[in-house]
Amino acid sequence: MESSTKSESKERRRAQYLIRRIRKFLFEGNWAVRFSVVGEDEAICRRYEIAPTSIGFCDYETQTLHVHYKKDILVIVIHEALHALYPDNDEEETLRLEQLVLDHLGPRQARNIMIALLLRLE
């Protein structure tokens, strides 16, 4: 019982750390956010070698997070920011961190991420 409580609070601390990093990355970093239809755009798929089902991707070269603006913008920007912050993580680990963040994200934190996103929007 105690160890499960301990690991829960460790998970919560890890999530809060990630949320702070994402917020700081968006508010203070040099990266841009660009809205497009991502995978639905054939030219984008060819240029960036992404699947037609992609709803977001992280372009390290131009430091741009591409977000499908007709999908779940908040979730996509969290996911792509995690790719930008942790470029060595594979997709599976990125999805795990995304879920950890979403499980602990409060409305105020979601609001702050959305405001930061708007300030980064090209």
- Region 75-114 residues binding Zn ion, contact defined as CB under 5 A: 91, 94
Residue placing its CB nearer to Zn ion in the complex, 8 or 72: 72
From 17, 25, 23, select the one nearest 104 (Cα to Cα). Answer: 17
Question: Which of 88, 91, 92, 76 has its CA nearest to residue 22?
Answer: 76
Q: Where are the beta strands (DSSP E) in 1-122?
A: 32-36, 56-59, 64-68
State which residue, 79 or 120, has the beta carbon closest to Zn ion: 79
Contact map string, positions 8 to 47, toward Zn ion, x by CB under 5 A: ----------------------------------------
Task: For CA atoms 62, 96, 92, 56, give the dihedral sign.
Answer: negative
Number of residues located near Zn ion, criterion CB under 5 A: 2
Residue whose CB is less far from Zn ion, 76 or 116: 76
For 50, the token pair is 């992404």
Q: Which spans of this chain sit near Zn ion (rule: CB under 5 A)?
A: 91, 94
